[in-house]
Amino acid sequence: MIKILILLLFLIFSGCNTGSGNLAGFGDPVVGDPPQTVEDNFIPDPGEYNVEVWVEGLRVPWSLVFLSAEKALVTERAGNIRIIEDGNLRGEPYKVIDEVEHIGEGGLMGITKHPGFPEHPYLYVMYTYRDGGTLYNKVERYRDIGSTMEFDRVIVDEIPGHRVHDGGRIKFGPDGLLYITTGDIWQAEIAQDENSLGGKILRVTPDGDIPPDNPFDGSPVYSLGHRNPQGLAWHPETGSLFSSEHGPSGEFGLRDKDIINVIEKGGNYGWPLVLGDANVDPYIDPIIMWERATPPGGMTFWNNRLYVATLRSEALVRIDVEPAGDIYEVTNIDRLFASDWFSGTYGRLRDAVVGPDDALYVLTSNHDGRGRPREGDDRILRINAN
């Protein structure tokens, strides 16, 4: 009750409407405790796994998609799409997108394929570009023609862009629709603005149309109140959508508080009004919030466990979640290949993808300007259970 009264006082004295996005001068967020009841376990050398270097010599790889058992594509943030065939990285890019503006965290980010590929030979990419003096992000569709890909159409354009907080993950869900994460571009108020595409998870059809059952009429917005969502994954049994998200890095004097959310259609996840287990309606609390930096990248379910690539904490985080009615209970959190909160065997990790061989593929990100490159970086690791 106290938290609710505090929030109401903030709204009254700031004169803001949570649906308007005009939060200038808004007070500090209501900050709750971490919702999880388990402690993180450090497992620097998990003997149950065999790890091998699948590909090396990449430059800030961001996203990986398998087109077949023999062929995969990986994006590099500067604008190259590299092709991997039978585990060998080709020297020449599969495609160079010249319009990409690689600045800070911006650049070429997510890549995915049409759910009907190869019968529908379409590939989707998200990237940052500059129009005059303004940065934007957009999602485009290309046609795969074997040796390269050709532009087909724009799917979503004029997503707010910046040198930080661009989101960038794109994936098709079990419903055959395309989900797109977008960041708040260091303007926290836009996450609460239903008319802005920033600080959201978007959902569109494979052609870029707005699904008729989207929660806001005529809008691609699927959920709002996000700071910088970086990962999407669907629970293999329940079909629930999970999202990973970066917490604050100085806003309102707050740091860390990286989170895992379970996404509901039309849900508001609170940024920048609430954080953690705040229990303030109508905002939806995360299922995990770390008090120490665990900035997540991409993630996936593998053998019914959630695996999250993390950056500064340099861990592959393994999470056990159990459905408990309408909620999920976090029963275990392991920080694999990490000996403490900031030291991992392989450095910064950007994405985690299950391959057609049922191995887990993990991308390093040590050349992104914030890491310490190791020999062979950046790499894609292939992980199998022993």
pTM of the model: 0.93
Strand partners, 382: 52, 361
Q: Which of 335, 176, 173, 319 is nearest to 238 (CA)?
A: 173
Distance from C-alpha of 127 to C-alpha of 108, rounded to nearest angstrom: 4
List phi, psi (to 5°) of 120.
Answer: -110, 95
Which has the closest alpha carbon to 376: 53, 72, 117?
53
Domain boundaries, the chain: 29-385
Domain topology for 29-385: Neuraminidase (2.120.10)
pLDDT of 26 reads 61
- Reading the block at residue 161, the tokens are 């862009």
DSSP 286: P
Q: What is the pLDDT of residue 242?
A: 98
CA 34 – CA 285 distance, rounded (Å) = 10
DSSP per position, 21-48: ---TT--PPEE-B-S--S-EEEESS-TT
At position 330, the amino acid (one-letter code) is V
Asked if 227 and 199 touch (Cβ cutoff 8 Å), the reply is yes
Half-sphere exposure of 230 (CA within 13 A, CB side): 28
Average pLDDT, 10 consecutive residues per value, the chain (386 residues):
42 34 62 98 97 98 98 98 97 97 97 98 98 97 97 98 98 98 98 98 98 98 98 97 97 97 98 98 98 98 98 98 93 98 97 98 97 96 95
Separation of alpha carbons 82 and 105, rounded Å: 19
CA distance 231 to 224: 15
Other beta carbons within 10 Å of 339? 15
Question: Which of 258, 282, 256 lies closest to 269, judged by CA?
Answer: 282
Q: How far apart are CA 229 and CA 219, in angstroms?
A: 19
| Rg, C-alpha atoms of the chain | 20
> What is the chain's length?
386
> How many other CB atoms are found less than 10 A from the CB of residue 304?
11
The CB density around residue 13, as the number of other CB atoms within 10 Å, is 11
Nearest-angstrom CA–CA distance, 362 and 312: 15
Q: How many angstroms separate the CA atoms of 173 and 203, rounded?
A: 9
Is the backbone peptide bond immediately before 282 cis, with ω within 30 degrees of 0?
yes
> What is the DSSP secondary-structure string of 51-68?
EEEEE---SSEEEEEESS
Looking at residue 326, its pLDDT comes to: 82
Element (H, E) at 348: none
Q: How far apart are CA 384 and CA 386, in angstroms?
A: 6
Task: Specify whether the CB–CB gap between 313 and 367 falls below 8 A.
Answer: no
* Closest C-alpha among 19, 32, 91, 83 to residue 282: 19
The DSSP output letter for 249 is: B
C-alpha distances out from residue 23 to 193, 200, 275, Å: 9, 16, 16
